[in-house]
Structure 1
């Protein structure tokens, strides 16, 4: 079997950790230098697809629907949102690491079908937290996949997004009856209760990393 080849590195702003992009034939992998395991793999994106589908399905018939994705990753959540939503939608995607954007515009973009090229996509290079702080009643749905979940691994600053203040900001950034969807590698009952204390109605969905019904179980919180 062919081995993975390192084809790109990127520094995570404010953290100093290094992301590494690897390729093996048509398969791509992103890892954090010095840590075991993967952040993401192009073969295993069922839960990233589900994040967009679960968040966008309830709002897709609204006129001029506008949604926000925190974390571009390999582009699968963005691609699934564009597939679910109509022609008049706007999908804002915030990505902290400029190199990840360039990886998606380069050869890695083919795995998700180059969704950055879709005219409905608006790219924001920077911390999604800044958008949550400044945009008020601006989005019909917000999808957050900026780390490993409430127990962040890649960047300490991500903790704010999952804190009561961050969740309150997300609530205020939503339009009436909007949907907040949050991806996590695993369950976190305390986080579920945190969402409820903010005032959200919460559903916890178990989804698979690889479809159909295969791969690790991940969690998506749906909060309205």
Structure 2
């Protein structure tokens, strides 16, 4: 079997550890040193469902979306396939190297979505945008870390706290959607969303088609 080759490493701000980019043939993997694989170019079905189901729920004619977490670009690419030419998407990515990887060696995995003129990149924490607390978005998609319990960046926990969810609520336009990806179930998180005032739908989907682990998606309407 072809061995994995380490292509690059990057430090996660805020003492979040080290990301490692690996390649084996046409397959790519991003790992967190000492914690294992975070994402793979082979497995991205639930991320695509997250974006697709968010877009299905949009009511705005020319929507503006905010995606927290670029990853390998699959969530962004799926969103672009399901919105019109007048839509605008901001993707916030905390680790600058992840953006560079997606502009370079990783770009082909998802079809180079960063080259789409509808996309702009915020180099920094998505929380910075949410803390402005102004109704700027028709959808906020959080594909950050491992879900409600962060692995790579402790400050990610704020996103899923009552303060973070209240900020997301304030950043959404009327009838806007907050969509959240999680590696596992978190009943208390759904209760938190409802306490903020969201109407919430929960979905369980396979990581890749009908195979793999079951991931949890929440779609919370303002």
TM-score, with length taken from structure 1 = 0.97
Stretches of structure 2 that go unaligned for 5 or more consecutive residues are none
Stretches of structure 1 that go unaligned for 5 or more consecutive residues are none
> Do 2:193 and 2:220's aligned partners in 1 also have CA atoms closer than 8 Å?
yes
Match of 1:202 in 2: 200
Match of 2:51 in 1: 52
Residue by residue over 1:176-224, the C-alpha shift from the partner in whole angstroms, topping out at 9 and shown as x without a partner, is 000100000000111111111111111110111111x111110001101
Structure 1 distance, partners of 2:130, 2:60, is 21
Match of 2:18 in 1: 18
Structure 2 distance, partners of 1:141, 1:54, is 11
Match of 1:159 in 2: 157
Are 1:217 and 2:187 an aligned pair?
no
Structure 2 distance, partners of 1:140, 1:100, is 25
Match of 1:41 in 2: 40
Q: CA RMSD in A?
A: 0.9
Deviation at 1:134, TM superposition (A): 1.0
Q: How many residues align?
A: 221
Structure 2 distance, partners of 1:16, 1:206, is 28
Match of 2:139 in 1: 141
Are 1:7 and 2:7 an aligned pair?
yes
Alignment of 1:106-121 (within 5 A): 106-121=104-119
> Do 2:16 and 2:154's aligned partners in 1 also have CA atoms closer than 8 Å?
no
Task: Report runs of 4+ in structure 1 exceeding 6 Å deviation.
Answer: none
Structure 2 distance, partners of 1:16, 1:155, is 5
Structure 1 distance, partners of 2:18, 2:217, is 26
Structure 1 distance, partners of 2:113, 2:133, is 23
TM-score, with length taken from structure 2 = 0.97
